Chain A
């Protein structure tokens, strides 16, 4: 349905595709490729008619699995507000540096979240990105100086 029209039916529920409506291309006045592998094929096909600007040739945070990828950047963008000091200190979320939780636990927690405490990032982060974050967490050391 178009935004702005009153509706009578219940809203979309879990499990339905993220991009149910046509992507709002008015958000992009000039044409750019959306280098996001998380998008369904139909949407990617629509976007591929566009040109690539030079500055967008860096891989975006939603980059394909085999592209170079910066976990430190992703952490600062998405995780740092709650996991203080890059994950080294307890804040809104627990300290991640030196955690005793297993890789499986961390993966599950990132994907499914914890109601009222942490959002679910399944769909926002690819498996490769989550693996990179786990590697990043395991590598955390106290700040120098």
Chain B
């Protein structure tokens, strides 16, 4: 980082101010505004953007809670947002001791980070008739904050800005005609340089998967990038006019590269998810060609939305392995600036800052959709393209991915990347479907399928501690059912993993030894953060199961999943006694 870490002096002052505020009044002082510079500096008491900082580490430098005392971690407070249909999937944010998070139906809360007291709440009025028709709904992955406002997307295609202090609506902009296209926003937005960026859902529906840049002050749309055939060059990669119903989208937040004024974003899969082209996907099938810019990482100018560079992780993605998942780790290694990004398949891509491939390694142990991906070029080797009919050998990984859309964590003190891998496969029966010719309220999957264990074994999940650039594995912890939530690591040398049964685990970041665990009462499929308020460190995690991957757990695994609710959830916050 080029700047002196002056945020240290600032954060000490803020802690003092918050401590005083907490004793005198119910709400802490809103010490100073959150702007791009402050998010870039990544204040150690705060969690100012979805991925923790623009570096996307999902890491807190706080060390008050550490390997020596984590055994004493216990519940400080709980918040229940209500109406948690499909569970809780959001990543809380914290600025100056105030925690902001969302529940289903884009309910937004601002809470006192030390006590859990509700400062304000906002429940948008939504088109509930539309939401009843949506499949990937009504969950929400979180807010962005910046320039005095809190930003949240809705399932009916709007981006809303709320005053950070009061929760009053500053502006409410309709970006997508969700009635027509079915898709809306489930992902958290990203705030950078006076612009709020948010990506639509898309892959399963006939649309063109837009990503939007909106002026943070006024709510006016500044730009729109179509992930399906968004440039003339890209248009040529969609045969049979399939760009018209291509899918795409960018449904999870990326990050902002302050050096180059660039937004890095991952895009979703094309539609139909499963093609019948056989090996000649360039000229046959439902969508002949590479299908740019689906299943790609793209770099857009934050001011104009113009495409600066891209790498398509999976040309002609025939397996629903989006690039719209996970983190963009911004690392320096041996004087080179790198970006590490997981693809949903479980292949982890290492790029330079212009998105040239530097290395590719794989976290999944059972994977056969390709033989390999060339680590020098990113070229797919031995890809399995299907013809219509039953696929003989089960496809690995399963449609729920080799990794979740949730994030892993990079710990700059250990130099290790803590990432969850998922081991499951699927039987597949591909249909030659009629092209869906116009956007409509209907999925476009293209196959029947069923979850299956990996060859010769059981389904399982694993937390790996890996070198993020080489993929060299230091240690691994296995779970009988794949954990689906995000991972947190801290300066206290801890790695926190919320699992699917409902237990949060803390591991020693160097060795993987489990040091603490606690049950949250229901499965996890969302965010976990750490922050400080009033001089005390907290770990906050959302619990509440019921998303697209979690819905498979009861029929597949039985056990506790059979009684686990799919419409409930809570925010649980831990601290030392």
Taking Cβ atoms with an 8 Å cutoff, the residues of A that contact B are 1, 3-8, 10-15, 18-21, 23-24, 27-30, 32, 34-36, 38, 53, 55-56, 58-62, 70, 72-73, 75-78, 80-82, 84-92, 112-113, 115-117, 119-125
Contact = CB atoms under 8 A, between A and B. Distances in A.
B441 interface: yes
B220 interface: yes
26 contacts: A4-B224, A5-B174, A6-B173, A8-B172, A27-B438, A28-B244, A32-B438, A36-B438, A60-B434, A61-B436, A62-B440, A73-B434, A76-B431, A76-B447, A77-B433, A78-B445, A80-B448, A85-B429, A85-B450, A87-B448, A116-B546, A116-B566, A116-B567, A123-B133, A124-B440, A124-B441
A19 B177 CA distance: 9
Given A76-B448, A81-B445, A7 B180 contact: no
Given A3-B221, A115-B85, A18 B180 contact: yes
Interface residues of B, number: 67
A11 B127 CA distance: 7
B548 A92 contact: yes
A3 B177 contact: yes
A85 B442 CA distance: 19
Contact of B436 (A30, A60, A86, A121): A60
Contacts of A24: 177, 180
Given A6-B172, A124-B440, A80 B449 contact: yes
Most buried by A among B126, B158, B218, B448: B448
A27 B438 CA distance: 9
A27 B439 contact: yes
A6, A53, A113, A119 — most chain B CB neighbours (10 Å) = A6
B93 interface: no
B22 interface: no
Interface string B22-36: 000000000000000
Contacts of A113: 132-133
A19 B134 CA distance: 17
Contacts of B135: 81-82, 119
Given A5-B173, A72-B431, A27 B440 contact: no
A10 B127 CA distance: 9
Contacts of B450: 84-85, 88-89, 91
Nearest to A87: B448
A60 B437 contact: yes
Contacts of A81: 135, 204, 399, 443, 445, 548
Given A18-B180, A27-B208, A91-B450, A36 B218 contact: no
B241 to A, nearest CB: 7
A55 B551 CA distance: 37
A58 B179 contact: no
